[in-house]
Chains A and B, each alone.
Chain A
Amino acid sequence: MATLTQIRTFNTAHLAEAAPQWAGAADNWTFHTSGALQDVSTLGWEGLNSAASVAHMEQVHSRALTASSPVVAASELVAAAASELTVLQSRVMTIVSWCLEGAYWVGEDLKLTDMFRSPNAAVYKMRSQIQDWLESMLSQAANDLVTHDQAVASALDGHAQMLDNNCLTPDQIRRKLTHDAVKGGIPGAIGGGVVGGIPGLVVGGVAGAMTNDLGDLIDLVDGTTKVCEK
C-alpha cells in the first residue's frame, strides 16, 4: 500500500507528457517512412539495386506501421490513465481532507487518529464509528489508485512486449531479405537488355551487384536489430 506522502506527491505528468510524444513519434515514423518509400519508389531506373532499395524501404515502412500500432495504443492508454489516476488520487485526497476536518489525524500508513478524544462515551463511540468508516473509505480509495496504476503499468508492459516483438532476430530478417531479394530482385536487373541481346555479357556484374546488395541490407538490418535489442 502506498504511503500518504506518495499519494500526495503522485502526479500524472509522466503519463500526460508521454501520450502526445508517443502519438507524435508514431505519426512521425509512418509519415516519414511513407514519404521515403514514395521517394525511393520514384527512383529513375529499374534494376536490382532499385528493386532492393524499394523492397528495403517497404520493409522499413512496414516495420514503422507495425511498431506504431502498440505505440498509438500506449499513447491512448496513458492519456486516459492520466485523467483516471488523477480522479482516483483526488478522491483519496478528498477523503484525507474530510478526515482532517473531522479532527482525525491521517498517518503515513493511512491510519486515523482521533484528535478530539471526547470524554463523552456516546460521542467517543460515534466518532470511533466515523473513524472506521473514513479509514475504510481512505484505504479503498488508496487501493483503487494503486491498483489502477498497476493496471496501467501492466497494460503498458503488454504494449511494450508487442513493440519488442517487432524487432525480428537477425536470422529472421536475413531469411526474409534473402527470400524477398531472390524472389523479386533478379528479373529486370541492370543491363537486362544487354543480357538479353548478348548472353553472358554482364550477367557476372549483375550477380555481383545482387550479392553486394544483400550483404549491405543484411548488415544494415543486423545493425538495426542490435539497436532494437537494446
Chain B
Amino acid sequence: LSGGDVLNVNPADLRGYGSRTHARTADFHYEPADSEGDWPSHHSVRRFHGQVQATGQGLSTDLDGSADHAERSADEHDKHDDSASKQMSTLMGMASGLLKDGMGAATDMGKSLTTMATTVGTAATQSLTTGLNAAMTAATGGAKGGQPGGAPVPLAAGTGSVPESPTTGHEEKGRDHGDADADSHV
C-alpha cells in the first residue's frame, strides 16, 4: 500500500484549505484615506481587522500544517506498514525455515530409523538363523542326510524358505529319500 492507496483524500487537497481559508481576509486591506481624520471606530476596525487577518492566517497555517502532517502520516504509515510487513515476512521466513529444518530432521531421522530397523532386522535374522543352525547341528549330531559328519546346510537368511526337517535333512514333501534324480534337481 502507498499513501495514495490508503488515503481517500489526497493530503495535497488539504493544503488548499489553508490558502482558501485565508484568501478572503487577505483580499481586504482596510486603509483609511486620511488617518489624521480617524474616529475611534476607524482605529477599532483597523485593529479588529488585523486580528481577523492574523486569525485567518493562523488557521491557514494550521490547515497547511495539517496537510503536511497528513502527508507525513501517510509516509509514516507506509514505513510502519513496510516495517511490520518486513518483520512479519522475516518471522514467517524464520518460521518457515524452522519448519523445513524440522521436516528435514524428521525425514533424516525417519531414514535413519528405517536404516537402523533394516540393519537391526537383518542382524537379528542372521543371529536367529545362526542360532537355529547351531541348534540343528547339535540335535543331529552333525549328520545330515547321506553326509554324516558333514557341515550343516545353512538357511538362507531372511528368505523365508521352508526349513529342512531337522530329522531327515530333507524337505518334508515332494522329495524322495535318496532319490539321486531328485537331488540332482536341487
Number of A-B residue pairs at CB separation under 8 A: 204
Q: Assess A21 versus B72: contact at CB under 8 Å? Given A40-B14, A40-B66, A190-B81.
A: no
What are the residues of chain B within 8 A of A60 when measuring CB–CB? 59, 62-63, 66
CA–CA, A51 and B20, complex, Å = 24
Binds A, one of B44-52, B98-106, B177-185: B44-52
Q: Which residues of B contact A157 (CB under 8 A)?
A: 44, 47-48
Q: How far is the CA of A205 from the CA of B79 in the complex (A)?
A: 10
Q: Please, how many residues of chain A have a CB less than 8 angstroms from a CB on the other chain?
A: 76
Query: Is A129 positioned at the interface, with any CB of B under 8 Å from its CB?
Result: no
Chain B residues whose CB sits within 8 angstroms of the CB of A50 once the complex forms: 73, 77
Contact of B59 among A56, A63, A146, A159 (CB under 8 A): A63
**How far is A149 from B40 in the complex, measured between Cα atoms in Å?**
6
The answer to whether B52 touches A25, judged by C-beta atoms less than 8 angstroms apart, is yes
Chain A residues with CB under 8 A of B39: 2, 6, 10, 146, 149, 153
A150 at the interface (CB under 8 A from B): yes
**0/1 string, A147-174, CB within 8 A of B gives 1:** 0011011101101100110110000000
What's the dominant secondary structure at chain B's contact region? helix
Instruction: Flag if A160 contacts B80 (CB, 8 Å).
Output: no
Interface size on B, residues (CB 8 A): 55
Given contacts A56-B66, A202-B87, A223-B61, contact A18 B49 (CB under 8 A): yes
Q: Is the interface of A mostly helix, strand, loop or mixed?
A: helix
Show 25 A/B contacts (Cβ-Cβ < 8 Å), sorted by A: A14-B42, A17-B28, A18-B28, A21-B25, A25-B52, A29-B56, A29-B59, A40-B66, A42-B9, A43-B8, A63-B62, A71-B52, A152-B44, A156-B41, A156-B45, A156-B48, A157-B44, A157-B48, A163-B48, A163-B52, A202-B87, A216-B69, A221-B62, A224-B62, A230-B54
Interface residues of B (CB under 8 A from A): 5-9, 13-14, 17, 20-21, 23-25, 28, 30, 32, 34, 37, 39-49, 51-52, 54-59, 61-63, 65-66, 69-70, 72-73, 76-77, 80-81, 83-84, 87-88, 91
